[in-house]
């Protein structure tokens, strides 16, 4: 009788309670080293899902606004300088003959290039003229960019410069529009000029990036990581054409 009761109890336990607790759907997450999320279930099996590292892979070029300018030598007398300039859209600027520049003076007094440059002085040096096959001595006026984002850049322009070669000494103030397209989240566009600092929108862990330089072909972004400076180039989708004068030199015209 006792054996029969024991057998009935075992059968009842198997039917009502089952063989044990079900663990197939119980999942917990832990984050191992290496930046991956590892999913572990109670059976001990593991499924690894590697997270996309937050970097510049999702930062794309969207547009470029370029404003061209060129400073021309103009005139020089008694060690003083009277330059002029051409700005995007045909805007012309000049220094007055009544107020010629001495080294250290800022120019121009008005217009889009107001107080943009500092005159550094003149320098003479021999330059080969490939068209004539001779070496000639040219006088160069040297001047420094005083824009806070470009301070320290030094430019020069020779006293004899045919208009056909102006593009060789032209420069561009450029504003680039970048588009942040994260795998998860909302895309966002933002405009930057050279020297601007930025962080990726909506990414709290984003390091501080700097738009280092914009050219007609690429945008360079730099950041500091583990004590080292890193640079990433973002290609411009519609590169600006090479200056006509440079092309003529390449084909030997």
pLDDT at position 56? 82
Each residue's pLDDT expressed in tens, for the chain with a length of 253 residues: 555 444 444 444 444 444 433 323 222 222 322 333 333 333 343 333 322 334 688 899 999 999 999 999 999 999 999 999 999 999 999 999 999 999 999 999 999 999 999 999 999 999 988 788 899 999 999 999 999 989 999 999 999 998 888 999 999 998 999 999 888 778 899 999 999 999 988 777 788 999 998 887 889 999 998 888 989 999 887 655 444 333 233 223 2
Residue 105, C-beta contacts closer than 8 angstroms, at least 6 positions apart: 118, 119
pLDDT at position 55? 64
**For residue 75, how many other CB atoms are within 10 A of its CB?**
15
Residue 148, C-beta contacts closer than 8 angstroms, at least 6 positions apart: 195
pLDDT at position 120? 98
pLDDT at position 238? 67
3-state per-residue secondary structure call for 198-231: ECCCCCCCCCCEEEEEECCCEEEEEEEECCEEEE
pLDDT at position 162? 87
């Amino acid at each position: 009788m006792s054996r029969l009761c024991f057998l009935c109890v075992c059968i009842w336990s198997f039917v009502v309670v089952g063989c044990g607790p079900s663990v197939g759907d119980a999942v917990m997450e832990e984050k191992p080293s290496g930046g991956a999320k590892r999913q572990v279930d109670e059976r001990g099996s593991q499924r690894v899902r590697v997270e996309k590292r937050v970097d510049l892979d999702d930062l794309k070029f969207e547009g470029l606004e370029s404003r061209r300018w060129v400073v021309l030598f103009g005139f020089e007398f008694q060690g003083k300088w009277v330059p002029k300039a051409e700005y995007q859209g045909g805007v012309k600027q000049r220094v007055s003959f009544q107020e010629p520049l001495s080294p250290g003076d800022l120019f121009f007094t008005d217009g889009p290039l107001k107080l943009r440059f500092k005159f550094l002085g003149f320098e003479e040096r021999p330059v080969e003229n490939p068209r004539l096959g001779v070496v000639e001595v040219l006088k160069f006026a040297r001047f420094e960019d005083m824009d806070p984002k470009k301070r320290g850049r030094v430019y020069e322009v020779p006293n004899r410069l045919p208009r056909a070669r102006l593009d060789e000494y032209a420069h561009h103030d450029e504003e680039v529009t970048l588009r942040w397209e994260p795998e998860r989240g909302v895309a966002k566009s933002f405009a930057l000029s050279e020297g601007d600092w930025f962080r990726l929108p909506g990414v709290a862990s984003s390091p501080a990036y700097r738009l280092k330089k914009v050219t007609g072909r690429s945008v360079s972004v730099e950041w500091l990581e583990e004590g080292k400076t890193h640079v990433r180039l973002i290609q411009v989708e519609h590169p600006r054409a090479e200056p006509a004068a440079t092309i003529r030199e390449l084909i030997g015209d």
